[in-house]
Amino acid sequence: MQRGESITSEELLIWPIMAVTTGVLSLQHLLEDGRKTIAALFMQGDIIDMRGMGNRQRGHLIALGKTGICRLAPQEFETVVDHNLGAHKVAWNSLRNQACRAMDHAADLAKKQALEKLASFLFECRRHQAEDRVHIPLRRIDLADYLGMQPETVSRSFKDLQARGIIALESISNLRILDFPTLRRIANGDKNTQNQRQGQEAGFKPAKIS
């Protein structure tokens, strides 16, 4: 699939189960006035099961770049899962991880500030990768839709993390995490970390409380 291509409802009736082999597939909802929201992201290794979901609740599966998918016939999928313990574990872990990501994402949108949302997303990407390098598999404009932010705010948040020495931007879509503990504290909503930053910008250090 190329960027912007979607999987039609007719296709989903025949092939409601698929695995993402490369790229990113998004679940998007379009509002009457043309606005869109990205409700979920499916990355390499994710298994998507769209059976039993109505069109209104389902949204649209749209590629956010060059994306590869492997379509799975429901009957064959069930047979493999029922008779192969390894396949059963893979499918179960994929769906469980998606449920956890969905809950985390809902909490991010409801409570977190821009920098906290971005930090959480970097850890979400890192689950699919290794070591300290992180590849951002989607464009900034799509990331903004997913995080409920403006593209300009996303760019400022990246620059803020880089200025603080927490990440090093190697390109528009690749970075290295230099300070895991601080990035984790920001992702978890540690106000002390942000207050310290504000204090440094104002030219003073926060007082220690004994």
The CATH number of the domain holding residue 82 is 2.60.120.10
Answer with the one of 71, 92, 111 that is the final residue of a domain: 111
**Are 137 and 83 found together in one domain?**
no
**Are 134 and 107 found together in one domain?**
no
**Are 106 and 126 found together in one domain?**
no
- In a 3-state reduction of DSSP, which class is residue 99? helix
Spatial distance between the Cα atoms of 63 and 7, rounded to a whole number of angstroms: 9
Q: What is the pLDDT of residue 196?
A: 54
The one-character DSSP state at 132 is T
What element of type H or E holds 20?
A: strand 17-22
Parent domain of 145: 113-210
Phi/psi of residue 37, each to 5°? -135, 140
Domain total for the chain?
2
**Are 119 and 21 found together in one domain?**
no
List the pLDDT tens digit at each of the 210 positions of the chain: 999 999 988 888 888 999 999 999 999 987 777 777 898 999 988 999 988 765 445 678 999 999 999 998 899 999 999 999 999 999 999 889 888 888 888 888 888 999 999 999 999 888 776 678 899 999 999 999 999 999 999 999 999 999 999 999 999 999 999 999 999 999 998 867 655 555 444 444 444 433
| Contact (CB, 8 A) for 114 and 155 | no
Q: What is the pLDDT of residue 127?
A: 77
Phi/psi of residue 80, each to 5°? -65, -45
| Contact (CB, 8 A) for 138 and 24 | yes
**Are 22 and 9 found together in one domain?**
yes
Answer with the one of 94, 111, 128 that is the final residue of a domain: 111
**Are 98 and 138 found together in one domain?**
no
Q: Which two tokens stand for residue 93?
A: 């872990």
**Are 126 and 94 found together in one domain?**
no
**Are 97 and 1 found together in one domain?**
yes
**Are 5 and 61 found together in one domain?**
yes
Q: Which two tokens stand for residue 3?
A: 């960027």
**Are 97 and 2 found together in one domain?**
yes
The beta strands (E) that lie in the chain are given as 6-7, 17-22, 25-30, 36-42, 47-49, 60-63, 68-72, 133-135, 167-169, 174-177
Answer with the one of 111, 136, 164 that is the final residue of a domain: 111
The beta strands (E) that lie in 50-97 are given as 60-63, 68-72
**Are 99 and 143 found together in one domain?**
no
Spatial distance between the Cα atoms of 53 and 35, rounded to a whole number of angstroms: 22
